[in-house]
């Protein structure tokens, strides 16, 4: 199926590795023009060399820096002639419970998560309003619906992001901008392989994954892959999804602690 993304311009934050990189790769395969930014210049350079596309623009940018974010948005629009989509992907998890989390942890977590959406939105909005198929996808986590006490700051921040995305869908609809979320479960982007190696359990990685999946209640019995997340992100960006806004899609292998 032609997703109608050829020659569309999509901005992906945090696109130098993991889900972001898989999304950039999938968009390029659909013929889109892609701009991606991240904090690590080395990773960005390696990703750009690997992808080797004249439809790819990269730049070093911290999403917490509003000025840098606006500058990258302008550069993208000037390079490609506009902007049709935004993927808010930059972010990380903080493994801390209530007794370990400091006031600074809470501030940093909330700043990172909300700056990662609000700064790119503010920068991209004028260009998206000019598009005839504007779409925003925020990469979130099932923690937003199924809180994890071991990641209490991250869970709370992600719940707020899910709420924000629903509000933005209503606010931006008159401008023709759709807003949706993709909520992840455990995705194998390299960190889990490193944890397996560090655990030195004597188990194969596949068996270790299966044990982890059973512990976390993952029905499919394994971790997800970055490309399995990229597919719904790209689908929601497509003009073919023109009547989908204000919703979220779980990509979590059937983790079922929540109902909604």
CA distance 220 to 217: 9
Quickly list DSSP for 53-82: -TTEEEEE--TT-HHHHHHHHHHHHHHHSS
Residue with tokens 């390696």: 46
State whether residue 218 is helix, strand or coil: coil
Query: Residue 186: CB partners within 8 Å, gap ≥ 6?
Result: 192, 212, 213, 216, 218, 223, 224, 252, 253
Number of residues in the chain: 260
Which one is predicted more confidently, 227 or 203? 227
Residue among 15, 118, 33 at smallest CA distance from 83:
33
Angle between helices 103-129 and 152-172 (to 10 degrees): 20
- Count the Cβ atoms, other than its own, within 10 Å of residue 73: 25
CA distance 183 to 257: 14
Handedness of CA 154, 158, 164, 168 (dihedral sign): positive
pLDDT by residue (tens digit) across 221-238?
A: 989 999 999 999 999 999
pTM over 0.85: yes
- 180 pLDDT above the threshold of 90: yes
Residue with tokens 């008159």: 174
75-89, 160-174, 190-204: least confident range: 190-204
């Amino acid at each position: 199926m032609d997703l109608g993304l050829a020659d569309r311009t999509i901005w992906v934050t945090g696109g130098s590795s993991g889900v972001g990189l898989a999304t950039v790769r999938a968009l390029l395969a659909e013929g889109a023009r892609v701009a991606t930014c991240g904090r690590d210049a080395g990773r960005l350079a390696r990703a750009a060399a690997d992808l080797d596309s004249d439809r790819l623009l990269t730049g070093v940018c911290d999403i917490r820096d509003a000025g840098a974010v606006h500058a990258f948005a302008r550069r993208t629009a000037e390079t490609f002639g506009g902007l049709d989509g935004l993927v808010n992907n930059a972010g990380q998890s903080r493994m801390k419970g209530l007794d370990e989390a400091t006031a600074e942890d809470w501030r940093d977590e909330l700043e990172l998560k909300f700056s990662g959406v609000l700064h790119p939105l503010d920068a991209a909005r004028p260009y998206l309003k000019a598009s005839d198929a504007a779409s925003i996808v925020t990469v979130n986590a099932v923690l937003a619906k199924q809180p994890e006490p071991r990641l209490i700051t991250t869970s709370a921040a992600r719940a707020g992001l899910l709420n924000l995305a629903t509000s933005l869908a209503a606010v931006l609809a008159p401008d023709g901008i759709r807003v949706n979320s993709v909520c992840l479960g455990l995705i194998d982007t390299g960190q889990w392989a490193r944890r397996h190696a560090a655990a030195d359990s004597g188990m194969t990685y596949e068996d270790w994954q299966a044990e982890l999946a059973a512990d976390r209640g993952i029905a499919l019995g394994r971790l997800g892959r970055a490309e399995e997340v990229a597919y719904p992100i790209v689908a929601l960006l497509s003009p073919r999804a023109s009547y989908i806004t204000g919703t979220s899609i779980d990509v979590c292998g059937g983790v079922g602690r929540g109902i909604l």
